[in-house]
Chains A and B, each alone.
Chain A
Amino acid sequence: MAITMEELRKQFYEHLQQANAAEAFEELRVRYLGKKGEVTGLLKNMGAIAPEMRKEYGAKVNALKEEVEASIKSRIEEAHAKELEMRIAATERYDLSLPSTLSEGSYHPITLVQREVEQIFASMGFAIEDYDEIVDDYHCFEALNIPKHHPARDMQDTYYLSNGQLLKTHTSAAQNAIMHKYGAPLRAIFPGRCFRNESTDACHENTFFQMEGIMIDENISISNLIYFMKTMLSEVFQRDVKVRLRPGFFPFVEPGFELDISCAICGGKGCPSCKNSGWLELCPCGMIHPNVLKAGGIDTDRYTGFAFGLGLTRLAMMKYGIKDIRDLNSGNLRALDQFVK
């Protein structure tokens, strides 16, 4: 006698109980539901069933088939879920406190300050120029109304080179070339590295950065100069900077000024940083000397202009509180690696 449906069901559940791996489930599926499977095989008994009972019998076999199928599927899912749970439980918990292996780079502080100032002037329509570090006597002095034997040449201890050239002592050395390049009207800034032959200490470096700016147009006046200086410095220091001009002598400007800004430390009341004056001397400036304009090929009857020089090195030191100027050229990463943007 063939196995009954109930016996088969019982047997299936016994087998299912024992199965625990993916292959075993597949084996069960083939054994019971495959073409030659045992559940499928029940249909072969159809002939032994009374005709009026056959419909009912068929439905029962199909129900068993679905039941077996669903049971296997459920066990597979169950096993899968269990396995997943075990895998997750076994997964390593990563130590987020471990140090980073990605190295973070750093900019030189001069780069950061220079970019900041450049952006301010770019936003006001100034061209940003770049010039040689090695120049000739003409560009560094003659063209700037500093003739030979002028005491101003003593003020700047110049590095002279074996090939007859010199290291530029100030960014003004670019003025002439830039005037010739653009002609008037003109507004440009030109940051650059300058050199002075002096011994170094915490406050003095033989290699430092300046930024020069010039603006030339019809009717450029001292009032305009004050405006641009005040606007630029207020942007740089992120506060409303008060400025004042004093007479200052620089051969390439006339009139020439020393520009002071209100001392940020004491707010203008007077403190040791500003020698109790409430003011900090910050940048020399002035109306470009007609001889300098002429040397630059600019028509002095039509155009006037102003020029200013800003000590980028000094600005960086003020901004970041760097006390020893020599840190800047030291190449010491323990000091320099903190300047990130």
Chain B
Amino acid sequence: MNVSMNWISDYVDLSGLDIDDLIHRFTLSTAEVEDVYHLGTEINGVVVAEITKIEEHPNSKKLHLLELDLGDHTDRCVCGAPNVRVGMRVPFAPFGASVVGMTIGEATIAGVVSRGMCCSAAELGIADSSSGLLELPEDAPLGKQIKELYAFEDTVFEVDNKSLTNRPDLWGHYGIAREFSAIAKRPLKPLDLDDLTKYDALDPVPLGFIDPELCYRYSAIRADHIQKTVSPIDMQIRLYYCGMRAISLLADLTNYVMLELGQPTHAFDSRMVGTIGVQRFPETFAFKTLDGTERKIDPETLMITSDNHPVAVAGVMGGENSEIVADTDSVTLECATFSAVSVRKTSSRIGLRTDASMRYEKTLDPELCAVAAGRFLKLLKGIDPEAKVVSRYTDCYQYHYPQIELHFTKAFVDRYTGIDIADAQINDTLSRLGFDVTEDNSVFDVKVPSWRATKDVTIPADVIEEITRIYGYDNFNIETTMSALRPVKPLQVKADEAAVKDALVKTFGLHEVHTYLWCDAKKLSDLKIPLPENVRLLNGMNPDATILRTAMMHTLLPVLKENRFYAPSFGVFEIGRTVKGQKPDGTANERRTLGVALLSHDKERTVFLSARDMIASILFDIRRQHPTFERVEPINAWEHPANTAAIILDGKTIGTISTVHPEVAAEIDKKASLVTLELDMDSLAEIKEADLKYREASRFPGIDIDLSFVVDKDVTFRDVTGPFFEDRDETLIGISLVDIYEADVKSMTIRLSFVSPNKTLQKAEVQAYIDRILKVLAEKNIRLRTV
């Protein structure tokens, strides 16, 4: 929103103050100023002139030669404007004068020398484009500098609309002026309003059904005999500087009142309205708004009606069927307050955001309706003295916001601020902002003004903001707290996450990446991975990215593929969230999950087993427990049926490690070995670190016994060693693999290490144990090699 400092100065005398500095303080105290413009400074030497004679240009049908009366002398120029006529007063820039973007010199236009220019509104910087000269009033004094007559020079600043969302009162200049009054500590002048009670004896504007739920206040008043159609130059300048354009007097007046008070009003051509209603329609229908666009009006949309026919979308835009036209001489002015939510929803439904709807969305003060009517009529009658009010101010005020009274003490303010702001200053600030303050010995009773009471200020903490922002945050102390320090226990999940990341990066050389929470259907289909059944986004912008990932691989495998030329061997990982369906209560089963994807040109067996060693080493490092790996059936498309294993720690499955299914692997990289690993970090967090039980080293030598087996190819190391663990001799302290050789059969040498805490063991002492186990193994067809 643009704010004109000239307009502000109508209501606060800021003379003697640095305007730019005040605007800076507005940023610090009220809302963010995005830009400051010093307008009109380029205009120089432009004066009022009357066209006294128009001659045809010898070489052009469009151009004219004008003779101009400048009061004490005359001048001539070539002019191309179509709207020239004798007796018309126009702004004239003589030789040496300047307008926006240029200085007037001598120019030869189609063979005729011209030393001056009659100006359009655009050339004076008060319109985007113009089709003719700016027409000045008939009584504009000839030869007078237009800058002395009209306020072309102005400082205009742009406020970030987003920083005004909570302040309905700041959507008009008067509200902003109130802020400047508090910032500059200068009095705020009252608004100049027409007294509406004068018209109480007149007939009402006929009002019918007014929706009691969505229309808080609907008021209307009618004026006839309006002769003037063009707004005064000063009004046109302000409208343009504030981002609107002059259209016609009545339309301009509604805009001017809105820019001044923040209250939108609507001007109906009285001929087109009968009994006015505010209602919703049971059926959806098409309605043409005054921008000429057909809109779909559904049963939720609040409409203004005339004799039950729609004439405007309430709070958004009028209809083409009732708009002000060229010969309108009677206006029915609507000043109303509608439900902010209803206007906001309507506006987004029909895809039309207007200056009016933007303001209504902020929850306007219904008290403003009568103020806007009074202001409109005051301005109208000032501009067009013939205009006559022909109805009473007809008011259907259905919802009054309660008067909010707040009670607080200075101690409360001190506690919030940490500094000492004097009673008098609190009182002064709040009073200037329109609060009704009663103060007795540092106890404050404050009545919130209506324009702040619709949602903005409701509790004492809200008043703190008023006091402190005007006091200035730059004036605060910077002070630490007196809070007691307590030890902080780190979260297990955070500690695990850090340890796992460190190990993966520093020890195992993997790369951390971040991927999205949802699957990319296209990328997965490229990898021949079906989309999972899962919770999905309802309103995502990309229809290919809606289903949340159930596994990290849904997003990591595409990353692995995209990086496949990065290096011959590399790995990526991410600790993120996966969603494994829904819990019984319907909420998403969100799991912190580690995903690791490896690509290598080593043998797959090597890559797979090193990945296993990697996770085992990390888990032992953080839990002092060794995981086991249990072959399981794959559940995901990328998991290889032969080599998918559960990662089990402390008896609980906490993850999966697998080589990649050939169908998927072929789509990622035909030649590489691929391994994936997922670990549920939430499950891991529940597993406690095993205690360190100190084992004294025996002072006696132990014995190692090597056993060589010849077994079938599918017999695993675990198959061979399992029985030793299941029935473990107390002196057996370790089992290791000495050698393995695979051909048609598998030959495997294992070493059993025995040691006794209190004597030197002899082979004979453990042989009985070994024989017992060998017997068990023999039952499974696992036998020692016979030389």
**Residues in chain A near residue B167, CB distance under 8 A:** 249
Q: Are A223 and B459 in contact (CB under 8 A)?
A: no
Of the candidates A102, A161, A247, the one whose C-beta lies within 8 Å of that of B509 is A102
Give the CA-CA distance A198 to B540 in the complex, in Å: 8
Given contacts A108-B514, A244-B28, contact A255 B461 (CB under 8 A): yes
Q: Are B29 and A247 in contact (CB under 8 A)?
A: yes
Given contacts A247-B465, A304-B415, contact A161 B494 (CB under 8 A): no
Mask of B545-566 contacts with A, CB within 8 angstroms, 1/0: 0001000000010110011001
A residues 176-202 touching B (CB-CB < 8 Å): 185, 187, 193, 195, 197-199
Q: Among B483-491, B659-667, B689-697, B746-754, which stretch is in contact with chain A?
A: B483-491
Given contacts A215-B481, A224-B418, contact A331 B506 (CB under 8 A): no
Min C-beta distance of A243 to chain B, whole Å: 9
Question: Is B344 engaged at the interface, CB distance under 8 Å to the other chain?
Answer: yes
Give the CA-CA distance A110 to B515 in the complex, in Å: 12
B residues 442-487 touching A (CB-CB < 8 Å): 459, 461-462, 464-465, 468-469, 473-474, 476-486
Using CB atoms, name the residue of chain B closest to A122. B488
Given contacts A105-B505, A226-B478, contact A221 B417 (CB under 8 A): yes
Q: Among A39-47, A49-57, A66-74, A163-171, which stretch is in contact with chain B?
A: A163-171
Question: Is B577 engaged at the interface, CB distance under 8 Å to the other chain?
Answer: yes
Given contacts A197-B540, A224-B479, contact A155 B488 (CB under 8 A): no
Min C-beta distance of A207 to chain B, whole Å: 6
Given contacts A224-B479, A254-B465, A336-B511, contact A163 B485 (CB under 8 A): no
Q: Are B512 and A222 in contact (CB under 8 A)?
A: no
**Residues in chain A near residue B590, CB distance under 8 A:** 132-134
Give the CA-CA distance A255 to B461 in the complex, in Å: 7
**Residues in chain A near residue B572, CB distance under 8 A:** 331, 333
**Residues in chain B near residue A102, CB distance under 8 A:** 509
Question: Is B292 engaged at the interface, CB distance under 8 Å to the other chain?
Answer: no
**Residues in chain B near residue A111, CB distance under 8 A:** 501, 512
Q: Among B135-143, B579-587, B718-726, which stretch is in contact with chain A?
A: B579-587
**Residues in chain A near residue B586, CB distance under 8 A:** 163-164
Question: Is B112 engaged at the interface, CB distance under 8 Å to the other chain?
Answer: no
Q: Among A79-87, A123-131, A263-271, which stretch is in contact with chain B?
A: A123-131
Min C-beta distance of A59 to chain B, whole Å: 50
Give the CA-CA distance A110 to B226 in the complex, in Å: 66
**Residues in chain B near residue A222, CB distance under 8 A:** 416-419, 468, 473, 476
**Residues in chain B near residue A235, CB distance under 8 A:** none
Q: Are A104 and B509 in contact (CB under 8 A)?
A: yes
**Residues in chain A near residue B740, CB distance under 8 A:** none
Q: How many residues of A contact B (CB 8 A)?
A: 82
**Residues in chain A near residue B30, CB distance under 8 A:** 247
Given contacts A207-B516, A221-B417, contact A248 B163 (CB under 8 A): yes
Q: Among B191-199, B304-312, B531-539, which stretch is in contact with chain A?
A: B531-539
Of listed B166, B464, B572, B574, residue having the most chain A CB within 10 A: B166
The total of interchain contacts (Cβ-Cβ below 8 angstroms) comes to: 229
Min C-beta distance of B339 to chain A, whole Å: 9
Min C-beta distance of A334 to chain B, whole Å: 7
Give the CA-CA distance A152 to B362 in the complex, in Å: 11
Of listed A159, A228, A246, A256, residue having the most chain B CB within 10 A: A246
Question: Is A329 engaged at the interface, CB distance under 8 Å to the other chain?
Answer: yes
Q: Are A125 and B488 in contact (CB under 8 A)?
A: yes
Give the CA-CA distance A193 to B517 in the complex, in Å: 10
**Residues in chain B near residue A224, CB distance under 8 A:** 418, 479-481
Question: Is B569 engaged at the interface, CB distance under 8 Å to the other chain?
Answer: yes
Question: Is A287 engaged at the interface, CB distance under 8 Å to the other chain?
Answer: yes
A residues 84-122 touching B (CB-CB < 8 Å): 102-108, 110-111, 115, 122
Given contacts A130-B493, A255-B465, contact A223 B27 (CB under 8 A): no
Q: Are B517 and A333 in contact (CB under 8 A)?
A: no
Of the candidates A103, A221, A333, the one whose C-beta lies within 8 Å of that of B416 is A221
Question: Is A31 engaged at the interface, CB distance under 8 Å to the other chain?
Answer: no
Using CB atoms, name the residue of chain A closest to B511. A106
Question: Is B508 engaged at the interface, CB distance under 8 Å to the other chain?
Answer: yes
Of the candidates B31, B344, B419, the one whose C-beta lies within 8 Å of that of A247 is B31
Q: Are B473 and A103 in contact (CB under 8 A)?
A: no
**Residues in chain B near residue A257, CB distance under 8 A:** 473
Min C-beta distance of B695 to chain A, whole Å: 34
Q: Are B461 and A254 in contact (CB under 8 A)?
A: yes
Using CB atoms, name the residue of chain A closest to B467. A255
**Residues in chain A near residue B548, CB distance under 8 A:** 161
Min C-beta distance of A310 to chain B, whole Å: 17
Q: Are A329 and B516 in contact (CB under 8 A)?
A: yes
Q: Are B515 and A329 in contact (CB under 8 A)?
A: yes
Using CB atoms, name the residue of chain A closest to B164. A249
Of the candidates A104, A185, A221, A247, the one whose C-beta lies within 8 Å of that of B484 is A185
Mask of A136-170 contacts with B, CB within 8 angstroms, 1/0: 10000000000001011011000111111101000
Of the candidates B28, B459, B540, the one whose C-beta lies within 8 Å of that of A246 is B28
Question: Is B162 engaged at the interface, CB distance under 8 Å to the other chain?
Answer: yes
Q: Are A106 and B344 in contact (CB under 8 A)?
A: no
Q: Are A105 and B510 in contact (CB under 8 A)?
A: yes
Q: Are B538 and A160 in contact (CB under 8 A)?
A: yes
Q: Are A103 and B570 in contact (CB under 8 A)?
A: yes
Using CB atoms, name the residue of chain A closest to B483. A217
Give the CA-CA distance A118 to B548 in the complex, in Å: 29
Of the candidates B464, B509, B512, the one whose C-beta lies within 8 Å of that of A336 is B512
Q: Are A130 and B511 in contact (CB under 8 A)?
A: no
Of listed B465, B498, B562, residue having the most chain A CB within 10 A: B465
Mask of A217-244 contacts with B, CB within 8 angstroms, 1/0: 1011111101110110000000000001
Min C-beta distance of B556 to chain A, whole Å: 8
Of the candidates A130, A227, A291, A332, the one whose C-beta lies within 8 Å of that of B562 is A332
Question: Is B32 engaged at the interface, CB distance under 8 Å to the other chain?
Answer: yes
Given contacts A197-B540, A221-B416, contact A207 B517 (CB under 8 A): yes
Give the CA-CA distance A111 to B512 in the complex, in Å: 9
Given contacts A161-B538, A246-B27, contact A151 B465 (CB under 8 A): no
Of the candidates A103, A155, A220, A227, the one whose C-beta lies within 8 Å of that of B165 is A155
Using CB atoms, name the residue of chain A closest to B414. A221
Give the CA-CA distance A186 to B478 in the complex, in Å: 20
9 closest cross-chain pairs (CB), A and B: A221-B418, A223-B418, A255-B465, A103-B509, A331-B559, A105-B505, A245-B473, A249-B166, A108-B512
25 A-B pairs whose Cβ atoms sit less than 8 Å apart in the complex: A108-B513, A125-B486, A151-B344, A161-B535, A162-B535, A163-B588, A219-B415, A220-B483, A223-B476, A224-B479, A244-B473, A247-B29, A247-B465, A249-B163, A255-B461, A255-B465, A255-B468, A257-B473, A258-B163, A304-B415, A328-B514, A331-B513, A331-B572, A332-B562, A333-B511
Instruction: List 18 additional contacts besides A108-B512, A224-B480, A255-B464; criterion CB under 8 Å.
Output: A105-B508, A105-B510, A108-B574, A110-B514, A125-B488, A127-B489, A128-B490, A133-B577, A165-B587, A185-B484, A193-B576, A207-B514, A219-B481, A219-B482, A223-B417, A258-B32, A333-B570, A341-B505
Query: Residues of B with Cβ closer than 8 Å to A?
Result: 27-32, 34, 162-163, 165-167, 340-341, 344, 361-362, 415-419, 459, 461-462, 464-465, 468-469, 473-474, 476-486, 488-491, 493-494, 498, 501, 504-506, 508-517, 535-541, 548, 556, 558-559, 562-563, 566-567, 569-570, 572, 574, 576-577, 579, 582, 586-588, 590
